[in-house]
Amino acid sequence: MIVTVTPNTALDVTYTVDSLVPDGVHRARDVRRRAGGKGVNVARVLHALGADVGAIATAGGATGAAVAAELGVAGLAAELVTIAGETRRTTTVLSAVDGSVTLINEPGPVLSGPEWTALAERVRRREPDVLVCSGSLPPGAPEDGYAQLIAGTTAVLDTSGPALLAGLAGRPAVVKPNAEELREVTGLDDPVAAAGELRRAGARAVVVSLGSEGLLAVTDAGVWLATPSTVLSGNSTGAGDAVVAALALGLSRREPWPDILRRAVALSGAAVLGPLAGDVDLAHYHRELGLVAVRARPEQE
C-alpha cells in the first residue's frame, strides 16, 4: 500500500471568476470546496488510478469536520488525527479569461507535541510499501519532522525550504522540488548541480518540476529529461501532486526511471486539465502516456 501523510491538511476553496483584476470586485462563476493539502491530493490521484492508497491527515474544528465529511463522500481511505486547532483553508482564484491561478495559503494551526506524536504513531503502524510526505509542516511541528517520519521507509518527499533540507536526513528515495524551490535551498542555478547537492545530503534521487518543460530526474541510474508532447493551459495547482502520485506508484511497482517519468509527465498534464487539485483527466493521461519524450542526458551539458 501507498500511504500519504498531510500534516497541514486544508479545506480547499476554489473560485472561478471571469478575470482577476487588482482592487476590483469579483463575482464568482463557481465555488467548489473539498478536502485538500498536498498529500490528500496525491491520494486522490492514486485512487483515481485504482491504486491501493491510504491517507493520514490532521483535522480540527468545524473546518476539520468538513474535511472529514468530504473525504468520506470521495471514498478515500483516510485516518484523521484530531487536533485542537482549526484546520486551515486554502483559496484558489481561477481566471477564466486567461487561465491564471492565484493561490492563498493559510499557515495552519499550531500542532502540540502530543498531536505530532499521534500523527507519527499512525504512520509507523501502517508500514507502507511507499510513504509520501507532502506539503508544509504546520507551526509547532519539529523542523526535522519529515526526517522522523520517513527514516527506514521508501519515501517520496515533496516540500520546500527548511523542511526539505531537514527531511534529507531521513534519506528519502525521491525528493520533488520545482526549479525555484531547488534554487532556494541550494543557491545554485544549474538544476543538475543543485540536485547533486540534495543527493549528497541524503536524497537517493531528485525529480525537478520544470513547468511546461517537463521533469528532470537525477538518480543513481542516470539523468533524464522527460517532456510532454504539448503545452496545456488550465488549473496547474495539482500538477505537482500528480507527479508525486506517479513517482510513488512507480516506486511501489519497481519500474525503471524512464517509465516512471513518462507516467509522471502524462499525469501532470492530466491534472492541469482537471477542474480541481487532485482531479486528473484520465483520457488525456492514457493518450499522453505514449507520447512523452524521455531522453538520457549527461550530468554536465
pLDDT digits (tens, 9 = 90+) for 5-27: 999 999 999 999 999 888 899 99
CA distance 196 to 204: 10
Return the H-helix or E-strand segment holding 30: strand 30-36
Global pTM value: 0.93
Mean pLDDT of the region 147-164? 97
- CA 46 to chain CA mean position, Å: 12
Q: Is 241 a catalytic residue?
A: yes
Mean pLDDT of the region 196-212? 96
Say yes or no to pLDDT of 164 above 70.
yes
* Residue 50, Ramachandran bin (φ over 0: left; ψ between -120 and 50: alpha; else beta): left
How many CB atoms lie under 10 A from the CB of residue 27? 7
Question: 184 — phi, psi (to 5°)?
Answer: -65, -40
Least confident of 18-22, 53-57, 96-100, 156-160: 96-100
CATH superfamily of the domain spanning 2-296: Ribokinase (3.40.1190.20)
Per-residue pLDDT tens over the stretch 212-247: 899 999 999 999 999 999 988 888 889 999 999 999
Q: What is the largest CA-CA distance in the chain?
A: 53
Name the active-site residue from 158, 241, 279, 281: 241
Percent of the chain scoring above 90 in pLDDT = 88
Q: Which three cell numbers stand for residue 79?
A: 485516518
Mean pLDDT of the region 74-86? 96
Per-residue pLDDT tens over the stretch 65-75: 999 999 999 99
